Structure 1
């Protein structure tokens, strides 16, 4: 007999449930300009009181099976928001190592993942993490770990994404429904400590995070522990609600971007 591996065999290798991960992460919240914050948030997500951006830089050991573990670095950024009273963050940027984890997250959950080169270095209490694409290191997080918190955190947090397929004829529209999805991240941190540090965003036409400036660092912490990830579909949304945000999922250095009122930005 001949095996044809373009068809699924009798033993499924892909789990329908959540993925169990071991993580070391820098987590931070920063305030950006109110006008930028408002322009970054698509419907039906609603703003919170302060224009805050969530940042997580992680070294993740993904336990695919008892015999197989995949280690990656991952940068996640989101706009802190609400959906029907549930606090979470709209994920507008995910960059990580490895084609398989990028394609699976994009197709299954609607995560805006891109393949990147990352580093995560811990030397004593000093931690430095970088993310690079196209030879440009466009995000660097660096800082000092303080005293360990006596109460490690166990909680669930929620990340909102959009899942859809660009129209085959008109790339400004979609083929079929667009879904709002919710990622459910169950955290079980065994180590947690506040950090002092900096977030540095550098110019990149491919990943213009610098357009979402760091105006004030609200919090930063270092954590270690386990995470179980999963997700669900929340609802369908009109394609026009998310269409002009979709450019962030691709490399489009010719995109000049949306003009934001100068007076609004300067007043932030």
Structure 2
């Protein structure tokens, strides 16, 4: 009988796949990163316990193209500053990816809030435009002009916080206790430039990042970098406390009935 490809893999095939993942070469990306101070109450409102606000209500958007073998990948992250157990880091609210393959590993293994979307990084001489879009709305756009080189930072670890969970089969709560994951990336940068420009947040029913306005722009940069990542479960969290935030992970059709933030035009 011909091999049935949906059948069980042999131990040797499983070991070979594990070895191949461990021996991946450095994968470099070109990315635009914008950081700004936002409304401290809004930043606090999106953090599920036990995450807590830091001393500064920062928001960060990262918009990158990744040099994956065989095809390019667009990868984005929109995150707020957070802390847990004395560790400072970032809590991503949405991570648009342009390919399904990029979704599954991070979403199922780490609990990353990845969704299919459009990710654009364009550079024409000194002029740069980068955006994240879903459902026909470019809900984040970063635009500006390269205004000089920046020192290349030393390799350093960065922590992202994720909640890993599965919605219950009967639609009520979770099937198992959710966990908090610390994902530590060691980032190496080979080029970094300053951008003088601005950040535009557009209203989107499915990606309501406009609720975290730009109060004071801290920096915009464009750089070439590579990183690896290691994740670990640090604690089990209260399902009851996390459930009100579970909608962050999914496109909730009821969101289309939400009103605009007070004072929006």
TM-score higher than 0.5: yes
Alpha-carbon distance change, 82 to 69 in structure 1, aligned in 2, over 3 angstroms: farther
Paired residues of 2:150 and 2:193 also in contact (CA < 8 A)? yes
Paired residues of 1:21 and 1:228 also in contact (CA < 8 A)? no
Equivalenced residue count is 256
2:150: which partner in 1? 149
Verify: 1:135 aligned to 2:136, yes or no: yes
2:124: which partner in 1? 123
Paired residues of 1:153 and 1:190 also in contact (CA < 8 A)? no
In structure 1, distance between residues paired with 2:185 and 2:127: 26
2:217: which partner in 1? 217
In structure 2, distance between residues paired with 1:163 and 1:241: 14
Counterpart secondary structure, 1:169: coil
1:25: which partner in 2? 31
Paired residues of 1:185 and 1:227 also in contact (CA < 8 A)? yes
Paired residues of 1:23 and 1:227 also in contact (CA < 8 A)? no
Q: Could you tell me how far 1:216 is from its partner in structure 2? A: 1.4
In structure 2, distance between residues paired with 1:107 and 1:258: 32
The structure richer in helix per residue is 2
Counterpart secondary structure, 2:56: coil
Q: Which moved more, 1:218-227 or 1:148-157?
A: 148-157
Q: Could you tell me how far 1:175 is from its partner in structure 2? A: 0.8
Alpha-carbon distance change, 18 to 162 in structure 1, aligned in 2, over 3 angstroms: farther
Alpha-carbon distance change, 227 to 18 in structure 1, aligned in 2, over 3 angstroms: farther
Over the aligned positions, Cα root-mean-square deviation in angstroms equals 2.3
1:179: which partner in 2? 179
Verify: 1:207 aligned to 2:207, yes or no: yes
Alpha-carbon distance change, 126 to 105 in structure 1, aligned in 2, over 3 angstroms: same
2:190: which partner in 1? 190
Paired residues of 1:120 and 1:128 also in contact (CA < 8 A)? yes
Q: Could you tell me how far 1:42 is from its partner in structure 2? A: 1.3
Counterpart secondary structure, 1:108: helix
In structure 2, distance between residues paired with 1:241 and 1:91: 18
Alpha-carbon distance change, 69 to 177 in structure 1, aligned in 2, over 3 angstroms: farther
| Structure 2: runs of 5+ lacking an equivalent | none
1:3: which partner in 2? 3
1:247: which partner in 2? 247
The structure richer in strand per residue is 1
Q: Which moved more, 1:33-42 or 1:249-258?
A: 249-258
Alpha-carbon distance change, 258 to 186 in structure 1, aligned in 2, over 3 angstroms: farther
